[in-house]
């Protein structure tokens, strides 16, 4: 079929509008084939447990949902394609670390959904709204106040509006506390100086108090600390409780990144006064979550009289941060995060998962090697080679005897230091040094192309520490000032961030080449050659053309519908890169085609080669199901061993989606 212009929805974090409270559909989600024309991949393995998780962004609502006396985990997920609110039932009421049941969908997914406890009962709020009848199939919205009263004080509408009930002033009624963030000083991207210092401002996170006066809510302004606005690094998620056991309400805030700030109440129950905030820490140092965009909820999980934290993470997991019952210098001491477990169900690896199907352990069946938004790379072992496969839990790979994890840190993301914990690993598996063993070629949030050499064996791979992929630039080394503040080392390959470095012997000369976006987003061919005793890449050649539509953005949406050089992303700075692709003869006609991320995956058919130029035609999406607000990542498999390459898609919800090629 011919390519048609179609419907991609640009969904950045700020653009989600997920406050619908229509009647929920009580739908079991662990059904093979439940996503339109795609099949969701199951563990098919009752012998393992998995991290409890939804898709991208977990908003935890811990409560006794089924009124059986224990605390279940209800989690809302606002993102495509796993959008919904899910019940993970607790069937082990006497265990502090239960293994929850697989998720059951109980309603629509919402951002900024919060639970608070009033008189021991959970009450669920959206911005300015309470959801009544939450434990039924008949959710109703009850407007409490207009958020314009808060938004009018900010230079732009916040991304996080977090409303909870709290008797803030101890007068016996439920006031409303509101946490908001402010990105105005931060801007968005491309604001580093030549030394890698961020020149825009920080994120801000403020907490407001609206006093309940005879059932009406009086705006009392921002909570103060030492005469100034309480201000944390974005998304404050304010949680009030008597954390130090002295009878008044203290405050713990989260942030957009990964830490918790404790504000001790040094006033009284009726007149709170807050001490300067300090990061929560224990004997291991400051407590960090594994990822970012953390969303804590205060709750005495183990009913020991000390209030714990239940925390959602960006990749859909939920953690238990236990109050130890101990104190140091007036601060409560919490344990490191424990990520809750569930019975194995849908196969998952983090968020924005980037799979490659390959026999990694040399046992004759197809395993999965995958990266994700957290910057890890894992081996997911196919345990039996049957159809459908039985999978082991993802095992994080090591390189140089350390867990392989690439992260942006303070200045590795073009979009600024708020993305410090992200890595966005995307990769190829190939014999890069032609020694007969499978290696990894990896790109990430940095845009640096790295090679991890296999120094083990074909059946027991072991990776050395990263080394750069080398290009013999000569006088043609590109200038990357519009993309990076830093300069690559001599002969090192750096390009647009978060885009697949596809390793393949393109010219079939026995040496592994590289097909990927160059620094300006054009699909390019980096030919391998031998120079002395080293294998090097030649500078990228723009040999790939479009027969119909040549210019796209990162979601394969058309930006210029004319023939010409194939530019898979025309955008710069934070909008650059992001393209996930595979080079493969998908239709079995002997020519190498392209599979490129889109709402699911688009098929760009190789239609001819003339005078060294390779021409493609965009045949459109391979599925009718929307999987992406950001990106997907394609690979091919032949699990059913029928000789045809089938499609496997890594989605931003961290799950895997499969379609047979018929």
Which pLDDT score is estimated for 34?
A: 57
Average pLDDT over residues 375-384: 98
The closest of 148, 149, 153, 180 to 164, measured between CA atoms, is: 180
Average pLDDT over residues 334-357: 98
DSSP output for 582-627: EEE-TTSSSS-EEEEESSSEEEEEEEEEETTEEEEEEEEES-SS--
Which long-range contacts does 293-296 make (Cβ < 8 Å, 24+ apart)? 293/57, 293/235, 293/256, 294/235, 294/237, 294/254, 294/255, 294/257, 294/258, 294/260, 295/58, 295/59, 295/60, 295/235, 295/237, 295/254, 296/237, 296/239, 296/252, 296/254, 296/260, 296/321
Confidence at 477, pLDDT banded by 50, 70, 90: confident
Calculate what percentage of the chain has a pLDDT beyond 70: 94
Residues 6 or more apart in contact with residue 288 via CB below 8 angstroms: 258, 259
Strands 633-637 and 450-452: unpaired
HSE, side-chain direction, 13 A CA sphere, residue 345: 20
d(CA 263, CA 628): 39
Strands 338-339 and 331-334: unpaired
Inter-residue contact 369 to 355 (CB < 8 Å) = yes
Exposure string of 47-77, with b = 16+ CB inside 10 Å and e = fewer, is eebbbbbbbbbbbbbbbbbeeeebbbbbbbb
Averaged pLDDT score across all residues of the chain:
93
Greater confidence, 4 or 415? 415
Residue range 391-434, pLDDT digits in tens:
999 999 999 999 999 999 999 999 999 999 999 999 999 999 99
User: Is a pLDDT exceeding 60 seen at residue 159?
Assistant: yes
Task: Report CA-CA distances (Å) from 284 to 196, 313, 325.
Answer: 29, 21, 17
Which pLDDT score is estimated for 29?
A: 35
d(CA 95, CA 279): 29
Inter-residue contact 39 to 156 (CB < 8 Å) = no
Which pLDDT score is estimated for 524?
A: 98
Inter-residue contact 354 to 580 (CB < 8 Å) = yes
Inter-residue contact 602 to 622 (CB < 8 Å) = yes
Exposure string of 332-366, with b = 16+ CB inside 10 Å and e = fewer, is bbbbebebbbbbbbbbbbbbbbbbbbbbbbeeebb
Which pLDDT score is estimated for 153?
A: 86
User: Is a pLDDT exceeding 80 seen at residue 21?
Assistant: no
Confidence at 629, pLDDT banded by 50, 70, 90: confident
Residue range 510-564, pLDDT digits in tens:
999 999 999 999 999 999 999 999 999 999 999 999 988 999 999 999 998 999 9
Residue range 27-85, pLDDT digits in tens:
333 334 457 899 999 999 999 999 999 999 999 999 999 999 999 999 999 999 999 99
User: Is a pLDDT exceeding 50 seen at residue 111?
Assistant: yes
Residue range 193-248, pLDDT digits in tens:
999 999 999 999 999 999 999 999 999 999 999 999 999 999 999 999 999 999 99
Which pLDDT score is estimated for 459?
A: 98
The closest of 338, 323, 322, 316 to 88, measured between CA atoms, is: 316
Confidence at 6, pLDDT banded by 50, 70, 90: very low
Confidence at 9, pLDDT banded by 50, 70, 90: very low
In this structure, what token pair is assigned to residue 162?
């977090």
Which pLDDT score is estimated for 154?
A: 86
Residue range 610-626, pLDDT digits in tens:
999 999 999 999 999 99
Residues 644, 424, 624: CA angle, nearest 5 degrees: 40
Greater confidence, 628 or 8? 628
Task: Report CA-CA distances (Å) from 257 to 178, 260, 337, 417.
Answer: 19, 9, 15, 9
Exposure string of 497-519, with b = 16+ CB inside 10 Å and e = fewer, is bbbbbbbbebeeeebbbbbbbbb
Greater confidence, 484 or 207? 207
Greater confidence, 17 or 285? 285
User: Is a pLDDT exceeding 50 seen at residue 469?
Assistant: yes
Which pLDDT score is estimated for 367?
A: 98
d(CA 30, CA 43): 10
pTM for this entry: 0.94
| Residue in this structure with the two tokens 């130029």, named with its chain if needed | 613
Which pLDDT score is estimated for 621?
A: 96
Average pLDDT over residues 375-388: 97
Which pLDDT score is estimated for 392?
A: 98
In this structure, what token pair is assigned to residue 328?
């140091």
Task: Report CA-CA distances (Å) from 97 to 72, 219, 353, 518.
Answer: 12, 40, 27, 48
Which pLDDT score is estimated for 24?
A: 36
| Residue 398 per-residue DSSP state | E
Confidence at 89, pLDDT banded by 50, 70, 90: very high
Question: Which helix (H) or strand (E) segment is 27 a member of?
Answer: strand 27-28
User: Is a pLDDT exceeding 60 seen at residue 13?
Assistant: no
d(CA 273, CA 223): 9
Average pLDDT over residues 135-139: 92
User: Is a pLDDT exceeding 80 seen at residue 11?
Assistant: no
Which pLDDT score is estimated for 189?
A: 87
User: Is a pLDDT exceeding 60 seen at residue 18?
Assistant: no
């Amino acid at each position: 079929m011919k390519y048609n212009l179609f419907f991609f929805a640009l969904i950045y974090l700020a653009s989600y509008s997920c406050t619908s409270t229509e009647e929920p559909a009580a739908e079991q989600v662990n059904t093979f084939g439940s996503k339109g024309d795609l099949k969701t991949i199951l563990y098919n393995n009752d012998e393992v447990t998995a991290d409890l998780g939804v898709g991208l962004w977990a908003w935890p609502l811990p409560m006794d949902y089924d009124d059986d006396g224990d605390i279940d985990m209800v989690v809302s997920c606002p993102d495509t394609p796993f959008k919904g609110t899910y019940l993970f039932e607790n069937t082990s009421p006497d265990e502090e670390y239960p293994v929850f049941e697989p998720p059951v969908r109980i309603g629509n997914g919402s951002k900024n959904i919060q639970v608070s406890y009033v008189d021991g009962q959970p009450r669920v709020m959206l911005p300015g709204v309470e959801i009544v009848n939450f434990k039924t199939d008949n959710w109703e919205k009850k407007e409490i106040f207009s958020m314009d009263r808060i938004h009018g004080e900010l230079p732009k509408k916040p991304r996080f509006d977090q409303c909870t009930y709290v008797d803030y002033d101890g007068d016996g009624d439920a006031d409303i506390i509101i946490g908001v963030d402010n990105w105005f000083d931060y801007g968005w991207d491309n604001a580093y100086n030549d030394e890698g210092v961020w020149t825009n401002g920080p994120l801000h996170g403020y907490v407001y108090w609206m006093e309940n006066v005879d059932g009406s809510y009086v705006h009392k302004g921002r909570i103060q600390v030492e005469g100034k606005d309480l201000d944390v690094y974005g998304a404050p998620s304010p949680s009030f409780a008597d954390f130090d056991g002295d009878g008044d309400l203290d405050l713990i805030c989260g942030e957009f990144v990964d830490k918790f700030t404790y504000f001790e109440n040094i006033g009284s129950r009726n007149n709170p006064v807050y001490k300067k905030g300090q990061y929560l820490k224990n004997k291991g140092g400051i407590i960090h979550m594994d990822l970012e965009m953390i969303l804590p909820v205060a709750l005495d999980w183990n009913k020991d009289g000390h209030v714990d934290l239940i925390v959602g993470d960006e990749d859909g997991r939920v953690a238990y941060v236990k109050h130890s019952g101990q104190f140091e210098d007036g601060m409560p001491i919490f344990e490191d995060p424990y990520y809750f477990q569930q019975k194995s169900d849908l196969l998952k690896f983090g968020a924005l998962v980037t799979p490659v199907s390959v026999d990694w352990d040399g046992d004759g069946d197809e395993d999965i090697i995958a990266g994700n938004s957290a910057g890890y790379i894992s081996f997911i072992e196919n345990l039996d080679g049957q159809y459908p496969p039985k999978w082991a839990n993802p095992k994080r790979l090591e390189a140089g005897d350390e867990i392989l994890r690439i992260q942006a840190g303070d200045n590795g993301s073009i979009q600024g230091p708020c993305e410090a914990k992200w890595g966005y690993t995307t990769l190829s598996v190939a014999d890069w040094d032609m020694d007969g063993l499978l290696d990894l070629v990896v790109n990430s949030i940095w845009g640096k192309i790295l090679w991890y050499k296999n120094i083990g064996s074909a059946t027991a791979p072991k990776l050395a520490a990263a080394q750069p992929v080398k290009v013999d630039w000569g006088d043609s080394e590109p200038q990357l000032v519009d993309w990076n503040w830093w300069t690559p080392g001599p002969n090192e390959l750096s390009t647009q961030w978060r885009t697949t470095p596809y390793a393949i012997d393109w010219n079939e000369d026995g040496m592994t080449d590289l097909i990927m976006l160059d620094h300006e987003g054009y699909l390019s061919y980096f030919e391998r050659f031998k120079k002395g005793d080293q294998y090097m890449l030649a500078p990228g050649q723009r040999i790939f053309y479009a027969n119909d539509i040549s210019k796209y953005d990162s979601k394969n949406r058309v930006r210029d519908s004319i023939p010409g050089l194939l530019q898979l992303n025309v955008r710069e700075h934070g909008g650059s890169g992001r393209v996930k692709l595979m080079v493969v003869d998908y239709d079995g006609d002997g020519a190498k085609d392209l599979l490129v991320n889109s709402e699911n995956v688009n098929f760009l058919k190789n239609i001819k080669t003339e005078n060294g130029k390779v021409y493609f035609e965009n045949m459109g999406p391979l599925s009718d199901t929307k999987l992406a607000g950001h990106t997907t990542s394609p690979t091919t498999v032949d699990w059913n061993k029928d000789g045809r390459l089938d499609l496997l898609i890594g989605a931003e919800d961290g799950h895997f989606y499969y379609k047979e090629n018929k």
